[in-house]
Amino acid sequence: MLRNGLPCAASFSARTITHLVIFRQSLSFVAVFHCIHFNCHAFSFTVNPTFSVSQFTTWHQTFEEDLALYAKLGITGIEICERKLSTDREKAHEQLKQVKEHGLTVTSVQPRCHALFPDSMSPHPEPPEERFKRYCQSIDLFATAFPEQNIPFVAISGNAPNFDFRLAHATARRLYPQLADYAADHGVRIMYEPLNPILMNADTFICSLDGALDLIKEVSRLNFGLMLDVWHVWHEPRIAEKIETLKELIFGVHICDWPQRGPRHVGDRVLPGDGVIDLPRLYGAIDASGYKGAYCLEIFSIDELPDSLWQQDPSDVLQRGRDGFIRGWETYLACS
C-alpha cells in the first residue's frame, strides 16, 4: 500500500527492511528508516522536528520559572509570552538575556497586545491605531534582544467594533501591511492566526483558514504569513489537503488537542493524543507543505475546571505533551 508515494509500514512485511532505527531524545527525536528496499530500490529519510512550548501552557509560572523548567526538561524551543515580562523595558531586556543563558531558542513571540481590535486578553486600549503602536513597541523590544533571528510574531484580529465587520476587515487590510513593513524593517515576521468559530466575536472576526489566507493574500508581504493552530482549524472540510498546499505561508504551528466530548470553555484544551483530532494526519499535511519550523505546545485552560491543565504539575504536563507529540509524529512516519 502506498501513501504519499511511499510504502506504508503495514506493508513492510512484503519487503526487506535492513535497518529500522528510531532515536528518541528528551526534546526531539530523529526517525531514520535506512535502506528500505522496495522493488530493488532503496531510500532513506531523516526527520527531526523541533518541539517548543508556549508560555501560555505554564501560565501560572513566572518567566524565570519557565526558563528553568524548560531547560531542566531538555526543551530548547520557547514561545515567549510578553505578558510574563516586566513592563519596565530595562528589566524586560534583562529577563530576555536569560533566554540564551538557559540554552533556549525563541521560536515565536506572543506580543502583549497581539490584536488590532480589543480581545479577551487585551480589551484596552480600544483604537486600532493605538494597538498598532503597542505591537510595534513589542517588535522593538524583541528585535533588539534577538537581532537578525527573523522571529515570527503571533497576530490575531480581535473583535469587530460594534459588529461592524466591513470596518474591521477594511482596517485590517489597511494596518497589517504597515505592520508587516515595520516588522520587515526590524528583521522579524508577522504570522496571522485564524481562530476557531467558538471564539467569533470574543477574540476574532476571522475564524476560518480561507479567511486568513484571503487576508494574507491581500496584505501581500513576504514576511506576513500564517500561524497554523490545529485546535482552531482541525474541523474544517478537507483541512489536510488544504494544509499541504500552503508551502512557505506557514510560519508557525501550535499543537494541542480537542476534548473528547467537546470543550467546556473556550479555553478548554487537552494534550496531544488525549482528544479527537487526527494529529498524525495533520502532521503529515504540515510536513508535506514543506514546513520545517517548530511544533509549539500551546495549552489554554481555566482554573475552575476539575482537571484543569493549568492546575496540574507543570513538569508533568510538559512531559506528557511532548510524549503525545512524539507518539503522533511516529504514527505519521509509520505510514508516510
DSSP one-letter string for 284-296: HHHHHTT--SEEE
Place of cell 510578553: 82
CA–CA gap between residue 328 and residue 12 (Å, rounded): 20
Average of pLDDT values for 142-155?
A: 98
Average of pLDDT values for 6-11?
A: 37
- pLDDT of 25: 38
Residue 107 contacts residue 296 (beta carbons within 8 Å): yes
Question: CA triplet 142, 146, 150: central angle to 5 degrees?
Answer: 90
pLDDT greater at residue 148 or residue 14: 148
Average of pLDDT values for 21-33?
A: 36
CA–CA gap between residue 113 and residue 134 (Å, rounded): 6
Question: What percent of the chain clears pLDDT 90, i.e. is strictly above it?
Answer: 85
CA 98 to chain centre: 22
Lowest mean pLDDT, pick from 44-58, 172-186, 231-245: 44-58
Average of pLDDT values for 286-293?
A: 97
- pLDDT of 47: 57
pLDDT greater at residue 335 or residue 224: 224
Backbone angles phi, psi at 87, to 5 degrees: -80, -10
CA–CA gap between residue 219 and residue 179 (Å, rounded): 10
Average of pLDDT values for 308-320?
A: 98
**Phi-psi domain of 163 (left: phi exceeds 0; alpha: psi -120 through 50; beta: other):** left
Place of cell 530493488: 40
User: Based on the number of CB atoms within 10 Å of its own CB, is 10 exposed (0-12), middle (13-18) or buried (19 or more)?
Assistant: exposed
Band (2; pLDDT cuts 50, 70, 90): very low
Average of pLDDT values for 241-253?
A: 98
Average of pLDDT values for 323-333?
A: 97
Interhelix angle 165-185/209-219, rounded to 10 degrees, is 60
Closest CA to 11 of 29, 51, 38: 38
pTM above 0.85, yes or no: yes
Residue 111 contacts residue 143 (beta carbons within 8 Å): no
In the predicted structure, residue 208 carries a pLDDT above the cut 90: yes
Amino acid at 104: L
In the predicted structure, residue 333 carries a pLDDT above the cut 80: yes
In the predicted structure, residue 29 carries a pLDDT above the cut 50: no
- pLDDT of 336: 73
Q: Is the peptide bond before 7 cis (omega within 30 degrees of 0)?
A: no
CA–CA gap between residue 203 and residue 269 (Å, rounded): 16
Domains located in the chain, CATH noted: 50-334 (3.20.20.150)
Length of the chain: 336
Question: CA triplet 250, 251, 256: central angle to 5 degrees?
Answer: 80
Place of cell 465587520: 165
Greatest CA span in the chain, whole angstroms? 66
Tell me the HSE value of 121 on the side-chain side, using a 13 A CA sphere.
22
Cβ count near 37 (within 10 Å)? 12
pLDDT digits (tens, 9 = 90+) for 38-58: 233 233 334 569 999 999 999
Band (13; pLDDT cuts 50, 70, 90): very low
In the predicted structure, residue 119 carries a pLDDT above the cut 50: yes
- pLDDT of 335: 84
Residue 57 contacts residue 10 (beta carbons within 8 Å): no
- pLDDT of 22: 34
pLDDT digits (tens, 9 = 90+) for 264-279: 999 999 999 999 999 9
Cβ count near 44 (within 10 Å)? 10
